[in-house]
Structure formats: structure tokens, C-alpha cells
Amino acid sequence: MTITIHNELRAYTDPLASSEYAALEHSILAEGCRDALVLWGDILIDGHNRYAICQKHGIAFKTVQNDRFTTIEDVMLWMIDNHLARRSVSDFQRGMLALRKKAILTAQTKAQQESTPDATPAEQAVPSARSTREEVAKAAGISSNAISRIEKIQKTAAPELVEAVRAGTISVNAAAAVASLPSEQQIAAVAAGKKELQQVAKQVRESKAPPKAPPVENRSDDVAQLSEVAMLTARIDALNAENAALKAQIAALTVSLEEARQTSKSVLA
């Protein structure tokens, strides 16, 4: 039987950790290859690790055909969904798989739009709902915010930092913070060890956090000062109002006295 290893498919999903690979090898040596390898024609699409172990030790295996695919992209999407269905996949791995799925679906949508030139501009501008960040996040079982952070890691993180988050040395949130640093600083932080790496992530997050509010005591003093100023301002306004009223009364009395004097002059005359 001829089995072809498609290099792009082989590297499309994250490899097993050394401990996971050793456990799988031990299981196959003890019990044989229980699960059939899945082929698309002669291309192996599921069971790469099992196939390598069986080849190494001369262990027999079974195969099963899956001929419902029409393109290699369909195979990739099937592989992604197959891996996402496994419980042992970490959130980071889920995010990476979701981003790969998003890229494939976006490319398929673009190709479909280009193949229908008679579509209106509005129709061509509408992306496939399956390719949105929210949709792929939902399919991966993680939040869209997590997808955004993993996307940042994918684009800006040094390979050493990616390996650290893949190995669980640092969380996705912390890795996304460290990924904002220059590559040299990322590598140095990873090389310094887990504790130093986490400290660097903390410092980066604190540097980007909004300034803290003043202590409660200071805020109380500020409020008290503002209240005192407001009271004084109100008192001044009241005094000004009283002063204006007194001036009006004086003016009225002045007019009355002038009228009384004029009347007295008339009588005497």
C-alpha cells in the first residue's frame, strides 16, 4: 500500500509534546494500532504520529478512505474540526486552529466572490459569516477576545515566546503582553525563566494601565475643599444679591424723598 505524506498537512496541526508522543508509542507497542489511519486517496490525513510509530516498529495498521473532499482546503478544514473536537487541545492550540480555519474560509469566500463578477458591490463586500472572528471563536470553544490575543501572538511573538505559551510556561494573556516588546526582549525574557517571564508580562500590563485614582483620603480632602469653595461662592453670591437689593431700596427712598421735597415746595409757594 502506498501512503503519501503531504508536508503541508503534516505540519498543519501542532505536533505532540514529547511526553504525549512517548505515551502514544507505549500504547501502540502494548496494544497495537487500534484506530485506523484515514486516507484521502493515497494521502494520509489523520494518524501521522501513529503511522510513524508503526513504521518505526513494524506494527500492522488499518486504513479507511474518506473520499468526500474535493480540494486540499476541504481536507484542512476537516483536520481542524477533528482536532478541535479533542478535549486535550489547549486554548492556545484551539486559537491557532481557529485562525487557520478563518484564513481558509476567508480565502474561499474571496475566491467565490471573484468567480461571480456579476454580483453587486454590496454582495461582494459581504464576508462569509463562517469566517468572522466571532464564528471561529465559537467553533473553537473560546472567546473572541482570546482569538484576538492569540492572533497578536501569531503576528508579533518571537518563536521562543510562541513555544513558551504552547508549552504552558506562560498564559495567553501574559504572552500577548510580552509580544508587544521588541523580539530581542521577548527572547531574553523567555531565556530568563518562567518567573522572570511572568514578571515582564506584569510590568508590560502595568505600564499600559490607566493611571490610578488618588487614595481615598486625598479624594476626601479634595471633596472637602471643593465643598468649602462652593459654600463661599454661594455666600458671596448671596451677599451680592443683598447688596443689590439694598441699593435698589436706597434708590427708591431717594426718589421718594425728592418727590416729597418737591411737593413741600409747591405747598409753600
Residue 137 lies in a domain: no
pLDDT in tens, 139-190: 788 888 899 999 999 999 999 999 999 888 899 999 999 999 999 999 999 9
Longest dimension (CA), the chain: 146
Closest alpha carbon to 48 in 1, 85, 6:
6
Q: How many whole angstroms separate alpha carbon 241 and alpha carbon 91?
A: 70
CA distance 175 to 41: 40
pLDDT class of 37 with cuts at 50, 70, 90: very high
Is residue 76, in this structure, part of any structural domain at all? no
Any idea what the CATH number is for the domain that residue 56 is in?
A: 3.90.1530.10
Query: pTM of the prediction?
Result: 0.64
Evaluate whether residue 27 is within a structural domain: yes
Q: Which of 191, 210, 229 is the last residue of a domain?
A: 210
Residue 188 falls within a domain, yes or no? Answer: yes
Domain count, the chain: 2
In a domain, 110, yes or no: no
Which pLDDT band holds residue 44 (cuts at 50, 70, 90)? Answer: very high
Instruction: Give dist(CA 14, CA 257) in Å, integer.
Output: 104
- Least confident window among 2-16, 89-103, 180-194, 212-226: 212-226
| Domain assignment of residue 89, yes or no | no
Q: Which of 70, 99, 117 is the last residue of a domain?
A: 70
**Dist. CA 136–CA 100, nearest whole Å:** 10
Residue 128 burial by Cβ neighbours in a 10 Å radius (0-12, 13-18, 19+): middle
Q: Is residue 184 in a domain? A: yes
| Helix axes 159-166 and 91-114, enclosed angle (nearest 10) | 120
Range of the domain at 201: 157-210
pLDDT tens sequence across 99-138: 888 888 888 888 888 877 666 655 555 445 455 778 878 8
Last residue of a domain, one of 210, 231, 249: 210
User: Is residue 67 predicted with pLDDT exceeding 50?
Assistant: yes
Is residue 104 in some structural domain?
no
Compute the distance between CA of residue 149 and CA of residue 180 in angstroms, rounded to an integer: 11
- Least confident stretch, 67-76, 183-192, 213-222: 213-222
